[in-house]
Amino acid sequence: MDNLHTTTYQYAFLDSGTGGLPYFAQLRAHAPHASCVYLADTRHFPYGEKTRDEVIRFATATVDELLEKFSPEVVIVACNTISVAALAALRERYSIPFVGTVPAIKLGAAKSVNRKIGLLATERTVCDPYTDDLIGQFASDCEVTRIGDSKLVSRIESELVTAGRDARIEAVKPSIERFRAAGVDTIVLACTHFLHVSDEIHEVAGPGIEIIDSREGVVQQALRLVPP
């Protein structure tokens, strides 16, 4: 580990578990030779069931460790819960740039035809004032159905990444069927863990519902801040 203390990485990814790995993969697809480090605070997983103050405290301690050991040039907060609850506090505390994975409400509103949007996230994210502000700013004319499904997040972290198709379909079906009953035509995936089961979410939702996530926008912002 001693060598890591003197190594500078271009991009650091911060999450509570494996949810941010699709963001890591997206960046490597654009910049295959970029130097990256991924740090997951599994000790405090799941963040989505914590209070706002707890999320800020745990995330700050993890970033302290990240900066001390790896000296990244930019930190990608590959966790929606940390982003909505703690991103402002992290930016205030540290001089290094942070790229957050906030819910893609703006894009969801732009895509929705019937002005009915589904937001699938953790309990912490769906009730956070930051999310309220995003909806008020970008989707005030939309009916937004919010579902906090931290149990699904925990199942993805513990078993569903390696589970078979049938188990993954059954796991995502309850939330997606609730969105269908609400008549949404667009679903925003606002927890990075859901990207691990995005194929199954698309399959259950069917062709009449568009699925939105923030992968490409987040990665492009990181690449703008720190060119590979």
Bridge partners of 117, per DSSP, are: 144, 186
Instruction: Considering only the C-alpha atoms of the chain, give the largest distance between any 2 of them, rounded to a whole number of Å.
Output: 56
CA-wise closest residue to 72 among 92, 98, 33, 90: 98
Sequence-ordered list of residues with C-beta below 8 angstroms from that of 68, at least 6 positions apart, any chain: 5
Residues forming the active site? 79, 191
Bridge partners of 145, per DSSP, are: 118
CA-wise closest residue to 83 among 64, 65, 66, 104: 104
Q: Give the total residue count for the chain.
A: 228
Please tell me whether residue 129 adopts helix, strand or coil conformation: helix
Asked if 211 and 179 touch (Cβ cutoff 8 Å), the reply is: no
CA-wise closest residue to 196 among 8, 7, 20: 20
| Cα–Cα dist 218/228, whole Å | 15
